[in-house]
Chains A and B, each alone.
Chain A
Amino acid sequence: MRASEIPTAALVLGVNVTDHELTFNSLSDVLQDNVTPFVVLLQSKDCPGIKQLLQKLLTQLMGNSADIEFEEEDEQVTISHRKMNCSLNSLSGWYKMATKKPSSPKKKKTSSSTHWHSPPVIVIMKDLESFSASVLQEFIVISSGYVMDFPLVLIFGIATSPMIIHRLLSHSVSSLLCIELFQSMPCTEHLATVIDQLLLSTFFPFKLSGKALQVLITIFLYHDFSVKNFIKGLQLSVVEHFYTQPLSVLCCSLLESKKRIKNLSLAQCENLRHLPSFMRYVESQTPENQVKLLTSDVFLKERTEEFIEMLHSYHENYIPILKCLHLFSSILPKYPIGKQVRELYCACLERNIWETEDYNSAFLLLRMLAKDEIVATLQKCVAVLKPYSGKPLGSALQKLEEFLGQFQSLEENVSYMEDEETSPQKALQKKTDLYQLQKKLLEMKETRSAKKPTKFELLRNEVVDFIDGLVREYLPPPERFPLHEVIYFSAAGTLRRHLNAAPRVALHTALNNPASYLKCLESEGGSLSKTAPDICIAYKLHLECGRLINLYDWLEAFATVVCAADGSDSELSVDEITHARFIRAVSELELLGFVKPTKQKTDHVARLTWGGC
């Protein structure tokens, strides 16, 4: 590194700009704690010119150091008020003054920055893409002159690719920088963490149904890649759930909900009886039980408590088993039931996963796994389930313990069966194509049907069957349980409407088919009728036009439609009222952005949309 080079870190952060704020805040906190008290965050909107950039830099720097060394506050404040005089020269002068102090007797304050002879000043440019090139270039050129007395470090936040540095900065400028590239985690990984910590945890009683989760994931993957927006969606679903579902009071920890069940009011009991899942449950009961459930509140509360307990233990077992299934599915080639745990989770929430084709083909593949793969995965599964073996987690525990024992004995068995197993497998190992392999195996199975399967194969089948059994037992969709509505938020449509709205579609529907809002128009069908609102008539007529619309002809057509019932005297006498209504309709269409006035031809308007949908 030459003396005049400015060390620069280029952070490639990905296109989800909305999440960067958090990243930068924690980055500046870490830097401030461990490296230097002088960290400045700059945003392109604050720096339209070099003057504003320097001003911002100066005020933030002096503010920062005032925060940390507040004994000298008075002095600092007076400096920061003198905004006019902001050049790098005064800045480096200030810096000398600021760094001189630590070397003075009071040493304790500088404990963090002692190993830096002089702590660097870190400038973080949050959104490099939006900075104007000239401002950036000027700043770099100026500050490179001072880099000897003023140890500046730049951090660029880049949303696209590091190419942008070279596109923004000319060669002579970028040669002043000593750039080191850093890559951030892809946003899908952040999403995986959020899902793992928030949704796949028993800590939060609130759950999303498969459809609602699917909507949120779709918005994430197809629209913005923003984890912040995903969390906003989660927040909205929490709000919606607790606002619309009267029984959501029971959506809390088990202890708390038991208390609340005892205090349920009469109306709430009635609500309980009206839940669809509860009604389904009642139908499956004996007649005397049905009567009791529907009449006795005490009995109802007892059962409710049982149901809630059932749901809680269902969740407790669900998550570890789901993670185990995911471990298996993620080693399969082509991932028939999903690579990410979120895909698997959605699939399991929506239907009985073992009834799907993908699941069956996945388990066919599992039955062909090599020994080392199966052992490694089983070990991982054991690790996942370990925390659940120690704690008494209710009814599910016995099953899990049994499960664990199976794993351990399997590992021992496998270790000394190794020799026998290799020979039949060897012939298969040359085949790389999966489908060939599958076919071959099927053939072999047929030809060797008389032959006794080896111990390994038996064991493998046993394990796979066992996993299958586990899945069938623990991963049924929540709809199977009575009272699942209390905990699961399922209004996927609401989420989509409020988060990912389509204003254009709404406008088009209202204009094209007003009957969907105004019930009295329903009998008219789809045809153009004079009873529809004026603006709808004008809109439908304008759909038939090309790029330009003659106002006079449009008006004439409008008058024809509006006066259709008045009889035969449609002799081109547009009365004033019709004219006025037309003017109103057209200016409304202009306000909505469908047409605009044009100078291309007298009394014409240009159409801004196309197609006659």
Chain B
Amino acid sequence: HAKKGKKNTASNLVEEYFEAHSSSKVLTSDRTLQRLQTPKLDQETLHKLLEQTPSAFAVELQRINESYEALFFKWMLQMHLGFNIILFGLGSKRSLMENFRIAFLKDYIHIVVNGFFPSITVKSILNSITEEALDHAGSFRSPLDQIDFIVQKFRQDPSLELYLLIHNLDSQMLRGEKSQQILGQLASIPSIHLLASVDHINAPIMWDQTKQSLYNWLWYETTTFSSYAEETSYENSLLVKRSGALALSSLTHVLRSLTPNARGIFRLLAEYQLANKDNPSYTGLSFQDFYQQCREAFLVNSDLTLRAQLTEFRDHKLIRTKKGADGVEYLLIPLDLGTLTDFLEMEDKET
């Protein structure tokens, strides 16, 4: 009977999946964030505002954290016995791992890797191991050579020991197959001890059986409920859309350094794009038309100057070109309407 019940819930889940994905039509309202008084918050105000919010569960969270800190001795023992520790659960595990580092790793060589940092690469991790831990200044042709070198070094010198703390092993930069393979090889060296944390719900998908056996994980649930302040500060894809302020400020910054004529050219394009905002078939302004308009406004005097100007815009990612069906190049500003309107308003104010 129980089995049957289980089967039922499973088939329900499947049905729900197909229900959710059955029609391409989306049944949500058409309201947008533009309706808010302040549709955009930039990073700074966000931080300021969040600092004002009181944390309601300070005492409870402290108690939970202490219960995890009681595990530190065990982690140390298990890492020495060749296991690697992985932490999962809701909440940032940064401060917990930092506490562990402060309490236990003072006298050992250790490297902290911030996986959530957007420019982290496996190569930089390997470099910091060879340079800081092994005092080797030379460079390597490939990560594979480098890992061979590291394995050899650690095998030759059994007194060498290294603690590797990786925050967010499942971050965008490290979740690739190759990076995980290399990190797994690092973790499988007996005298390298790895303590890592994962947050993404699908993190275990990164590893096949071979990699999992390389890592030799022991899983520990550490649900801390603390906010992902550091981790999400880089996760700006959702914020950028709303905090168009960032894009706007960079836009004005770039434009301010240009000649009046160049600003005029950009303005012309922006105005044209705004004028066509309700036209769904609008694909941009073709170069010839644009040249014509610029000439009429006495902004350029030759085909060449306009092209040079557009190249400069393109280098600053201010415009995008698209080939139309007729082979003609169309010019577009890759910004949403709100930002563009704000930009024009600001320009008007200044002039």
Contacts and interface: CB of A to CB of B under 8 A. Distances in A.
Interface of A: 16-18, 45-46, 127, 224, 226, 228-229, 232, 235-236, 239, 243, 497-501, 503-504, 506-507, 510-511, 514, 517-520, 531, 533, 535, 545-553, 555, 573-574, 576-577, 579-581, 583-584, 586-588, 590-594, 597, 600-605, 607, 609-612
Contacts of B200: 591-593
Most buried by B among A127, A499, A588, A597: A588
A503 B203 contact: yes
B100 to A, nearest CB: 17
B148 to A, nearest CB: 9
B89 A583 contact: no
A18 B213 contact: yes
Contacts of A228: 213
Given A224-B209, A499-B219, A577-B49, A510 B90 contact: yes
Given A590-B235, A590-B237, A597-B237, A503 B88 contact: yes
Contacts of B336: 602
Nearest to B47: A580
A581 B219 contact: no
B308 interface: no
Interface of B: 12-13, 16-17, 20-21, 26-29, 31-38, 41, 45-46, 49-50, 52-53, 56-57, 59-61, 64, 74, 77-78, 81, 83, 88-91, 144, 181, 198-204, 209-210, 212-213, 216, 218-221, 223, 225, 227-228, 231-232, 235, 237-239, 241-242, 336
A101 to B, nearest CB: 28
A518 B20 contact: no
B238 A46 contact: no
A540 to B, nearest CB: 14
B50 A510 contact: no
Contact of B27 (A531, A546, A607): A546
A260 to B, nearest CB: 21
B31 A552 contact: yes
Given A583-B41, A605-B238, A535 B46 contact: no
B81 A239 contact: yes
Contact of A497 (B34, B216, B219, B242): B219
Contacts of A553: 28-29, 31
A584 B232 contact: yes
B49 A576 contact: yes
Contacts of A574: 36-37
Given A593-B200, A611-B16, 12 more contacts: A18-B213, A226-B209, A243-B74, A499-B219, A507-B89, A547-B20, A547-B26, A550-B29, A555-B33, A579-B38, A584-B227, A590-B238
Given A503-B88, A518-B225, A553-B29, A587 B219 contact: no
Contact of B45 (A236, A507, A576, A594): A576
Contacts of A609: 201
A583 B81 CA distance: 43
A136 to B, nearest CB: 19
A549 B28 contact: yes
A580 B50 contact: yes
10 contacts: A17-B210, A226-B213, A239-B81, A503-B204, A518-B57, A580-B41, A580-B46, A602-B32, A607-B20, A610-B21
Nearest to A606: B26
A18 B209 CA distance: 7
Nearest to A573: B37
Given A498-B219, A506-B88, A577-B53, A611 B13 contact: yes
Nearest to B51: A580
A312 B198 CA distance: 44
A261 to B, nearest CB: 26
Contact of B50 (A506, A584, A594, A601): A584
A402 B3 CA distance: 48
Contacts of A610: 13, 16-17, 20-21
Contacts of B221: 497, 501, 506
Contact of B57 (A226, A533, A586): A533
A574 B49 CA distance: 14
A428 to B, nearest CB: 37
Contact of A600 (B26, B50, B59): B26
A503 B170 CA distance: 13
Contacts of A547: 20-21, 26
Given A18-B209, A517-B225, A592-B199, A507 B90 contact: yes
B197 to A, nearest CB: 11
Contacts of A597: 237-238, 241
A17 B209 CA distance: 7
Contacts of A601: 26, 28
A517 B62 CA distance: 12
B227 A588 contact: yes
Q: Which 4 A-B pairs have the closest CB atoms?
A: A501-B219, A510-B90, A580-B49, A18-B213
Nearest to B57: A518
A591 B78 CA distance: 29
Given A499-B219, A583-B239, A602-B32, A506 B38 contact: no
Contacts of B16: 610-612
A545 B27 CA distance: 10
Contacts of A576: 38, 41, 45, 49
Contacts of B203: 503
Given A507-B89, A591-B200, A552 B32 contact: yes
A535 B226 CA distance: 10
B278 to A, nearest CB: 14
A603 B223 CA distance: 31
B201 A594 contact: yes
Contacts of B28: 545-546, 548-550, 553, 601, 604
B218 A236 contact: yes
B16 to A, nearest CB: 4
Given A576-B41, A592-B199, A609-B201, A587 B235 contact: yes
Contacts of B232: 584, 587-588, 590-591
Contact of A46 (B26, B32, B144): B144
Nearest to A15: B209
B156 to A, nearest CB: 15
A581 B48 CA distance: 11
